[in-house]
Amino acid sequence: MKKRIKILADSNFKSSMDFFTPFAEIQFVEGRLIDRKHLAGVDALLVRSVTEINKDLIEGSELKFVGTATSGVEHVDLEVLADAGIVFSSAKGANANAVCDYVIAALVALDSDHEHFADRFLKKTYGIIGAGEVGRRLVTRLLQCGVKSVLVYDPPLENQYNPEAKALAFSSLDEVLSCDVISVHVPFERSGNYPTADLLDARQIDKLRPGATLINASRGGVLDETAMLMRLKSEIDCHRHERLLCVLDVWEAEPLARKALVAAVDLATPHIAGYSVQAKHNAMQILHGKLTDVFGIGMELKTNVASRRFILSEVLPQSLLNSPASLMAALYPLIEISEQMKFEAIHDQGPRFDEQRSKQRLRNEFQAYVIDNSVKLNEFNRLFLKGLSFQS
Dihedral class, residue 220 (left if φ above 0, else alpha if ψ from -120 to 50, else beta): alpha
- Cα–Cα–Cα angle for 332, 180, 275, rounded to 5 degrees: 25
Give the whole-angstrom CA distance, residue 259 versus residue 341. 10
DSSP classification of residue 199: S
Cβ–Cβ under 8 Å, residues 198 and 231: no
Quick check: is 219 catalytic?
A: yes
Are 355 and 340 in contact by the 8 Å Cβ rule? The answer is: no
Catalytic residue, from 219, 258, 288, 363: name it.
219
Residue 58: in which H helix or E strand, if any?
helix 55-58
Are 179 and 147 in contact, with CB atoms under 8 Å apart? no
CA dist., res. 211 & res. 245, Å (int): 7
Give the 3-state secondary structure of residue 347: coil
Rounded CA separation 89/96 (Å): 17
Dihedral class, residue 308 (left if φ above 0, else alpha if ψ from -120 to 50, else beta): beta
What distances in angstroms separate CA 240 from CA 62, 196, 208, 246, one per listed residue?
A: 57, 29, 14, 11
Identify the three-state secondary structure at position 141: helix
Q: Are 242 and 105 in contact (CB under 8 A)?
A: no
DSSP-derived 3-state class of residue 165: helix
203 is catalytic: no
| Distance of alpha carbon 242 from alpha carbon 104, whole angstroms | 22
CB 103 within 8 A of CB 129: no
| 209 is an active site residue | no
Among the listed residues 271, 281, 288, 363, the single catalytic one is: 271
The residue annotated as part of the active site, out of 25, 175, 189, 254, is 254
- Which sequence positions are flagged as catalytic? 219, 254, 271
